[in-house]
């Protein structure tokens, strides 16, 4: 698969092209509860893979969390000692459903829980309103944060997958620098946690909808 070929047999472009299934997600090296190291990474195939770093990268398990494609990647996951947490691209675990969030057992690769993305209206209207959660995940003890193309940032209980709070970033603010700021769709790597505050790039993807904003938000622990 080559980015500029578009399936046309020109030069060294193959036709038909292969699938865009490269590893789009940074690898995670973590230690499981049993003390063993494990290397985990998601790919544009919609799959999560686990490798044994102490045994020449032997594949330990793989699990499918979405359809997979260049527009439905896994941009980044997060892990503790028990599970890896992954946002779900289009065509999630439940047929016909779009998006969601999964907690996967590091030892077995089994899905411990999966929470579907709520089918809420997008703040900018129905055009380009999609709910897949391809954005990179951020993890703190007890809670994982996953953002959606619909502009919603959600905090999940790491034990149960329950949505602790749901924040719609598609709003308008009077920013601290004296200009109007607009929220929007969330993709890529939109959030980071530091000093007890979650910082969010609200509206960082021009590919998913007609409404992509320009706001940087500071969100407190209660989702406000």
Mind listing the pLDDT tens digit for each residue in 164-195?
999 999 988 899 999 888 888 888 888 999 99
What pLDDT sits at residue 144? 96
Dump the DSSP string for 132-193.
---SPPEEETTEEEEE-TTSEEEEEETTT--EEEEEE---EEE-TTSSEEE-----SS-EEE
Q: Average pLDDT, whole number, for the chain?
A: 86
How much of the chain exceeds pLDDT 90, in percent? 45
């Amino acid at each position: 698969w080559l980015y500029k070929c578009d399936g046309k047999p020109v030069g060294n472009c193959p036709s038909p092209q292969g699938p865009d299934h490269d590893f789009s997600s940074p690898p995670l090296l973590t230690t499981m509860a049993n003390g063993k190291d494990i290397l985990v990474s998601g790919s544009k195939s919609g799959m999560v893979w686990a490798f044994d770093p102490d045994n020449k990268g032997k594949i330990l398990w793989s699990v499918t969390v979405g359809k997979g494609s260049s527009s439905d990647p896994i941009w980044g996951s997060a892990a503790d000692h028990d599970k890896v947490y992954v946002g779900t691209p289009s065509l999630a675990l439940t047929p016909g459903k779009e998006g969601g969030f999964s907690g996967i057992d590091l030892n077995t690769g089994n899905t411990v829980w999966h929470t579907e993305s709520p089918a809420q209206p997008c703040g900018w209207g129905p055009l380009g309103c999609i709910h897949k959660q391809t954005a990179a995940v951020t993890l703190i003890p007890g809670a994982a944060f996953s953002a959606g193309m619909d502009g919603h940032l959600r905090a999940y209980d790491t034990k149960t997958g329950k949505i602790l709070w749901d924040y719609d970033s598609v709003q308008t603010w009077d920013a601290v620098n004296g200009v109007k700021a607009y929220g929007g769709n969330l993709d890529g790597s939109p959030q980071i946690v530091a000093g007890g505050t979650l910082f969010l790039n609200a509206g960082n993807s021009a590919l998913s909808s007609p409404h992509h904003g320009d706001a940087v938000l500071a969100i407190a622990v209660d989702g406000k």
